[in-house]
Amino acid sequence: MHATDVLTEEGAPARLARGMAALAGWRRLAAAFLLGGLSAFALPPANAVPVLLLAFPGLLWLLDGARTGRQAFAVGWVFGFGHHLLGLYWISFALFTDIERFWWALPLSAAGLPVVLSVYAGLTALVLWRLRASGLARPLLFAVAWAAFEWLRGYLFTGFPWNLMGYGWVGVLPVLQSVSIFGIYGLSLLTVLVAALPAAFADTDARRAGAALAAGLLLFAGFWGWGEARLAGPGLGTVPEVRLRLVQPAIEQSLKWDPAERDRNIQAQLALSAAPSAEPVTHVIWAETAVPLFLEQDAQVRQALGAVTPPGGLVVTGAPRAGLGPDGDRRYYNSLLAVDGSGAVTARFDKFHLVPFGEYMPLRRWVPVGAIAGNGAEFSAGGGPVTLPLKGLPPVSPLICYEVIFPGAVTDAADRPNWLLNLTNDAWYGRSAGPHQHFAIARVRAVEEGLPLVRVANSGISGVVDAHGRITALLGLGERGFVDAPLPKPISDPTLYGWAGDWLFGLMLISVLGLGLVARQRG
């Protein structure tokens, strides 16, 4: 065989495509499941983005064998199920903190969310199958459909924009700088497009397909070069006279709310907060619900916090909060509270994006059990992103737990903060991929917004990230201790993404769609 035959109709791609299209029944679905599982390795913590060059073309070739829309949807759905089952396996770990109460939910937790999320991949496959695209039109239209449904996944039914394809670039910080322009959805669109281009080698002219793939790779090489230049520029510096202490007690989730362990857990965090430091600390930060009681109603604990508060500074901690709603009914909030040296609460923030089933039960009429994270009680939502003034600190946008995963929704658009503060408790998920994914996603928000991020987690991963996504301080998963670090400065002006949000992604989506339709028309 001549060497150039591998890129012709009789070459390896065409033979592989025909072989995969010929699969039927359980073999086709098994192949889709394996390819979906393979695609999960592109995401944190593996960050093996090149596997998508196999996974997505394989999916497109499997769709060639689908004779009906139902078969096409099934192929896409099974691909998505393999992808999400492997990528989100860790969610079921949360139930083991009280398995006697929630044993019945274990299969729903392990497979239920992947079952639902896979619908988006199934719809992507169905749309592509309906369009009957081939050649270069196929990867173009596939990328549009995939990215559009990823965007919808981030908004529908309270939204769950976890493990978007662009997050695989967290391991390549220069390329990640591009999210400051068009956000994570834009990076996902381009990632899927370039990864799917090898599928065109099977049914179009090799030169056209090769040129398109080369152009796509050069595009990412351009991102890489631009990102290197951006990272090589002068540093942004740190905020004068501010030094933060991040306290990570690594308390087991099964002990966190145990009344017999409450005082011991608080004392452990007080001891870490009061430990000597090489340089004076100005502010101490604890994790989400680090104080497992109604702090505003407990003067003794507030006085203990005040005793370890640096002079003129604050202890910022997560704690539940009780208050009255508009109708005078008693409500509970997952909150951030700032305590000064006198033990007074000087600022508060209530979490506004609650976790379904974890912090409230959306199906309470049919599911007669309480929320998992609230020990049966349900939390109420706060008013939305705010820019919070804290004594001795630049204005901050506080975010509790997974509020940090929502692109374009982490700041008050009318009042830009100087930094992001994310308090979380990932102890629910043990030593799994979950905390690594959560930390990686949080880093992307810093780059998108051009704002430094401080993240404090009960059991890790805690750290400080500058406005370009570089980690300047870190406490690893499961480590017990603290880390002292200065607060990086923000980029002076909003990034293009911070200013325009997802509008540029929308323009990119329309542009790629137009290219795909033109390519489809030309055959």
**Structural domains counted in the chain:** 2
299 within a domain of the structure (yes/no): yes
Locate all alpha helices (DSSP H) within 132-242, ordered by sequence: 137-153, 173-176, 179-196, 206-232
**401 catalytically annotated:** yes
Compute the residue count for the chain: 523
329 within a domain of the structure (yes/no): yes
Same domain, 296 and 268: yes
Which CATH number is 482's domain given? 3.60.110.10
Same domain, 173 and 256: no
Same domain, 215 and 254: no
Cα separation, 201 vs 281, whole angstroms = 59
16 within a domain of the structure (yes/no): yes
**261 catalytically annotated:** no
492's tokens: 């002076």
498 within a domain of the structure (yes/no): no
> pLDDT tens across 298-332, in order?
999 999 999 999 999 999 999 999 987 777 788 99
Same domain, 104 and 210: yes
Within its chain, how far is the Cα of 320 from the centroid? 24
pLDDT of 9 over the 50 cut: no
Which residue segment(s) compose the domain that 348 sits in? 238-490
pLDDT number for residue 15: 87
Cα separation, 182 vs 176, whole angstroms = 11
pLDDT number for residue 371: 52
Cα separation, 98 vs 254, whole angstroms = 8
Same domain, 226 and 273: no
| Pair type for strands 283-285 and 238-248 | parallel
Phi, psi of 357 (to 5 degrees): 75, -30
452 within a domain of the structure (yes/no): yes
Same domain, 253 and 160: no
62's tokens: 């499997």
pLDDT of 5 over the 50 cut: no
Annotated active-site residue in 256, 359, 401, 403 = 401
Give the residue-averaged pLDDT of 367-393: 76
Give the residue-averaged pLDDT of 129-135: 92
Same domain, 95 and 177: yes
Burial 469-500 (b: 16+ CB within 10 A, else e): bbebbbbebeeeebbbbbbbbbbeebbebbeb
Same domain, 228 and 246: no
Annotated active-site residue in 150, 288, 403, 449 = 288
Cα separation, 136 vs 159, whole angstroms = 32
173 within a domain of the structure (yes/no): yes
Question: Smallest Cα–Cα separation from 83: which of 127, 50, 52?
Answer: 52
499 within a domain of the structure (yes/no): no
Same domain, 226 and 252: no
Cα separation, 285 vs 319, whole angstroms = 12
pLDDT of 6 over the 50 cut: no
Neighbouring residues of 310: CB distance < 8 A, sequence distance ≥ 6: 280, 281, 282, 283, 284, 341
Higher pLDDT, 101 or 59: 59
Same domain, 457 and 345: yes
> pLDDT tens across 204-240, in order?
878 888 999 999 999 999 999 999 999 997 789 999 9
> pLDDT tens across 268-287, in order?
999 999 999 989 999 999 99
Cα separation, 16 vs 268, whole angstroms = 60
507 within a domain of the structure (yes/no): no
> pLDDT tens across 449-487, in order?
999 999 999 998 999 999 999 999 999 999 999 999 999
Stated as kind and residue range, the H or E segment containing 397 is strand 396-400
Percent of the chain scoring above 90 in pLDDT: 76
Annotated active-site residue in 351, 448, 449, 489 = 351
pLDDT of 345 over the 80 cut: yes
> What's the 3-state SS for 343-384?
CCEEEEEECCCCCECCCECCCCCCCCCCECCCCECCCCCCCC
Cα separation, 354 vs 333, whole angstroms = 10
Burial 224-257 (b: 16+ CB within 10 A, else e): beebeeeeeeeeeebbeebbbbbbbbbbebeebb
Cα separation, 521 vs 200, whole angstroms = 16
Give the residue-averaged pLDDT of 30-51: 97
Same domain, 268 and 207: no
Cα separation, 81 vs 74, whole angstroms = 10
Cα separation, 342 vs 115, whole angstroms = 51
Same domain, 121 and 181: yes
pLDDT number for residue 204: 80
First to last CA, the chain: 28
